[in-house]
Structure 1
């Protein structure tokens, strides 16, 4: 039953994120939540700081697409793309829950890149990926 509640909270969170609803987007976090951005070496302490940081982003997303959500128990992963000024970034969000609130999130950001031709005989192109609209 708790997993169903977490999935509902995640769906509401990502929907609010896509819509730019900063209040609803941050309802999922505990007041003392931690959010880590390992690639930049930043840690945001507390829901209020996280919401303030995100509300001061210089751009509004021009696209948002949740590819998949998977998890069980207290650990959930969301893979999504977010676009600013038409440029997509691939994101993986790892969320740890206490009850149905996030206590720790780690986000990894990656820009898409063109696949090198040398490996084309072993791969298939994923339609709808940021590098293959």
Structure 2
């Protein structure tokens, strides 16, 4: 399942930053009892039908630049940068699969910030 799961994630979040799939196409990738949690806002969306309804009502979907997909088997982490019309957030998305479908996602968002001076000297400038 590892190759299938990674392939599904790469279709869902292509590396070119363009969301390629409709809410209906994504719907089929998710388990019926799918759960999306966003701890920083306290949101918990339960059920793939609820997720599809939320996506269909979303006023301006963000652009997403995927930086890395890592994992194996039924557990992956997707790291990326989301642009919500000028508001930039970095996201770590923990994705759990069950029977070849996405069963659970936990998305953790953070705003960009400058490294403190004491630590910046250790950072690779690339």
TM-score tier, shorter chain, comes to: 0.7 to 0.9
Aligned to 1:32: 33
Asked if 2 retains the 8 angstrom alpha-carbon contact of 1:13 and 1:27, the reply is: no
Aligned to 1:69: 69
Aligned to 2:55: 54
Aligned to 2:23: 22
Q: How much does 1:29 deviate?
A: 0.6
Runs of 4+ in structure 1 over 6 Å off = none
Q: 1:21 to 1:93 in 2, by over 3 A?
A: same
Residue ranges of structure 1 left out of the alignment (5+ in a row): 127-133
Q: How much does 1:88 deviate?
A: 1.8
Aligned to 2:110: 110
Q: How much does 1:70 deviate?
A: 0.9
Q: TM-score, normalised by structure 2?
A: 0.86
Superposed CA offset, 1:52-75 (max 9, x none): 2233223232x3111111111211
Q: 1:73 to 1:87 in 2, by over 3 A?
A: same
Asked if 1 retains the 8 angstrom alpha-carbon contact of 2:12 and 2:21, the reply is: no
Residue ranges of structure 2 left out of the alignment (5+ in a row): none
Distance 1:49 1:29 in 2: 11
Q: How much does 1:98 deviate?
A: 0.9
Please identify, of 88-97 and 16-25, the stretch whose mean Cα deviation from structure 2 is larger.
16-25
Please identify, of 10-19 and 102-111, the stretch whose mean Cα deviation from structure 2 is larger.
10-19
Q: How much does 1:32 deviate?
A: 1.1
Does 1:44 pair with 2:45? yes
Distance 2:121 2:89 in 1: 26
Distance 2:9 2:102 in 1: 10
Aligned to 1:80: 80
Q: TM-score, normalised by structure 1?
A: 0.82
